[in-house]
Amino acid sequence: MLYDTVVIGAGIAGCSVAYFLKQKNQKVLLVDKEGIASGGSGAAGAFLSPKIGVSSPLKDLTDDAFNFTIDFYKKNFPQYYHQTGVIRVPKDELNASKTSKYSKFHNAKYAELTPSQISKYGFDVRYNSTLFFDGGTCDAKEICTELVKDIDFLRFDVKDITKKDDVWIVKDKKAKNIVLSTGFENDLFDMRYMGIKGTWGNRGDFSSQLKLDVSMHESLSISANMGGVIKLGATHELEVIDKKPCDDSKDYELLEKASNMIDTSDFKLIKTYCGMREWE
Ligand SMILES: Cc1cc2nc3c(=O)[nH]c(=O)nc-3n(C[C@H](O)[C@H](O)[C@H](O)COP(=O)(O)OP(=O)(O)OC[C@H]3O[C@@H](n4cnc5c(N)ncnc54)[C@H](O)[C@@H]3O)c2cc1C
């Protein structure tokens, strides 16, 4: 069979591409060496909030992506999108000095809050911060799985890709088009000009009774309390080449950091995740 498109990599990027091509009546094959959302997308805390900064083509693109994604998730996967709002807290004085300057460039509903206003949400912070009302967190693995439930999926490691007579050949599969959505991994073709690398990160899910209705992001992300679970996550180790074993101790480092901002006294680690995000 000749597919219209073969998509390599079944993270959120590959699953979304596969879904939208299928909506356009394409015959799509999705391939992943480990399974659906087995890379960064499965590990992510999956916090969604807009890019902060001055106007630029990249900011316009990410703002459009943010607004599109929120609408799409709310319409199609309301059970997997938790619109808690996200408070973006400046990491340091320099960032804090830009909070008001950047506000005129926001393309999403927001409020600028003082530390005493933020304390009512349960966070102890030093600087004025921005609450994006439409932000939140999603269940990325579940969304990926739903997106591709009607799409042909094969699990194997793609070692090389070839093209003959305008047809792409991946192992014994053939397609007219190919999409690479392999996350931080870029050994299938020469990507020097893009310079994609990996950043290693951890996410810990903790049980807690703490009342926390809003999520926040500073140098780590802290989710709202969702059914007795609070997610802490951060990608923090730059330029890691290979994946590493998952390490609980990193979750306890995140917990220590979080304890400067919220009451973590009843937090108990339930599950640890780790993975690589792309970075360039
Ligand atoms: C701990 C952590 C926390 C994060 N938190 C957030 C967050 O809060 N908000 C946010 O927006 N982002 C977050 N990220 C980043 C986010 O997860 C990534 O940007 C996103 O998941 C990238 O998706 P992707 O589909 O491009 O890549 P991935 O999800 O990494 O998917 C790539 C897939 O390609 C497959 N693959 C690679 N090479 C091959 C091959 N040769 N053959 C077959 N299959 C192959 C892999 O197995 C993998 O499944 C976080 C990341 C981590 C690790």
At 18-34, the pLDDT tens digits run 999 999 999 999 999 99
Strand-pairing partners, residue 51, are none
Q: Would 51 be classed as within a structural domain?
A: no
Asked whether the predicted pLDDT for residue 274 surpasses 70, the reply is yes
Mean pLDDT for 1-10 is 97
Residues 6+ apart with CB under 8 A from 12: 37, 41, 140, 143, 144
Q: Would 159 be classed as within a structural domain?
A: yes
Asked if residue 35 and residue 155 are part of one domain, the reply reads: yes
Mean pLDDT for 39-50 is 91
- Residue with the bigger pLDDT between 196 and 275: it is 275
Does the CB atom of residue 33 touch ligand 1 within 6 A?
yes
- Mean pLDDT over all residues of the chain? 93
Question: Which pLDDT value is given to residue 136?
Answer: 97
Asked whether the predicted pLDDT for residue 278 surpasses 80, the reply is yes
Asked if residue 148 and residue 221 are part of one domain, the reply reads: no
Q: Would 94 be classed as within a structural domain?
A: no
CATH at residue 253: 3.30.9.10
Question: How many structural domains comprise the chain?
Answer: 2
Nearest CA-CA partner of 278 in 13, 6, 2, 8: 13
CATH at residue 11: 3.50.50.60
Domain boundary among 152, 180, 208: 180
CA distances 76 to 15, 86, 91, 147, 224, Å, are 14, 21, 34, 10, 22
Asked if residue 240 and residue 272 are part of one domain, the reply reads: yes
Question: Which pLDDT value is given to residue 239?
Answer: 66
Asked if residue 212 and residue 279 are part of one domain, the reply reads: yes
- Spatial separation of the C-alpha atoms in residues 13 and 143, rounded to whole Å: 11
Asked if residue 278 and residue 201 are part of one domain, the reply reads: yes
HEC secondary structure over the chain: CEEEEEEECCCHHHHHHHHHHHHCCCCEEEEECCCCCCCHHHHCCCEECCCCCCCCHHHHHHHHHHHHHHHHHHHHCHHHEECCCEEECCCCHHHHCCHHHHHCCCCCCEEEECHHHHHCCCCCCCCCEEEECCCEEECHHHHHHHHCCCCEEEECCCCCEEEECCEEEECCEEEEEEEECCCCCCCCCCCCCCCCEEEEEEEEEEECCCCCCCEEECCCEECCCCCCEEEEEEEEEECCCCCCCCCHHHHHHHHHHHCCCCCCCCCEEEEEEEEEEEEC
Could you identify the atom of ligand 1 that is nearest to the CA of residue 202?
1
Does the CB atom of residue 182 touch ligand 1 within 6 A?
yes
Question: Which pLDDT value is given to residue 99?
Answer: 87
pLDDT digits (tens, 9 = 90+) for 194-240: 777 888 889 999 999 999 999 999 999 999 999 999 999 987 776 66
Does the CB atom of residue 277 touch ligand 1 within 6 A?
yes
Asked if residue 147 and residue 38 are part of one domain, the reply reads: yes
Q: Would 71 be classed as within a structural domain?
A: no
Does the CB atom of residue 217 touch ligand 1 within 6 A?
no
Asked if residue 155 and residue 266 are part of one domain, the reply reads: no
pLDDT digits (tens, 9 = 90+) for 147-183: 999 999 999 999 999 999 999 999 999 999 999 999 9
* Sheet order of strands, 229-238 included: 110-113, 129-132, 86-88, 215-217, 221-222, 229-238, 197-207, 268-279
Nearest CA-CA partner of 3 in 29, 31, 32: 29
Does the CB atom of residue 12 touch ligand 1 within 6 A?
yes
Asked if residue 173 and residue 233 are part of one domain, the reply reads: no
Question: Which pLDDT value is given to residue 38?
Answer: 93
| Residue to mutate (ligand 1; options 6, 202, 235; most atoms within 8 A of CB) | 235
Asked if residue 201 and residue 175 are part of one domain, the reply reads: no
Asked if residue 248 and residue 176 are part of one domain, the reply reads: no
Which residue minimizes the CA distance to atom 38 of ligand 1?
Answer: 182
- Spatial separation of the C-alpha atoms in residues 118 and 125, rounded to whole Å: 7
Asked if residue 276 and residue 148 are part of one domain, the reply reads: no
Q: Would 123 be classed as within a structural domain?
A: no
pLDDT digits (tens, 9 = 90+) for 68-97: 999 999 999 999 999 999 999 999 999 999
Cβ–Cβ < 8 Å for 223, 230 = yes
Band the pLDDT of 242: cuts 50, 70, 90: confident
Q: Would 8 be classed as within a structural domain?
A: yes
Q: Would 187 be classed as within a structural domain?
A: no
Whether the full predicted model's pTM is greater than 0.75, yes or no, is: yes
Does the CB atom of residue 11 touch ligand 1 within 6 A?
yes
Asked whether the predicted pLDDT for residue 65 surpasses 80, the reply is yes
Q: Which domain holds residue 273?
A: 197-280
| Rg of the chain over all Cα atoms, to the nearest angstrom | 20
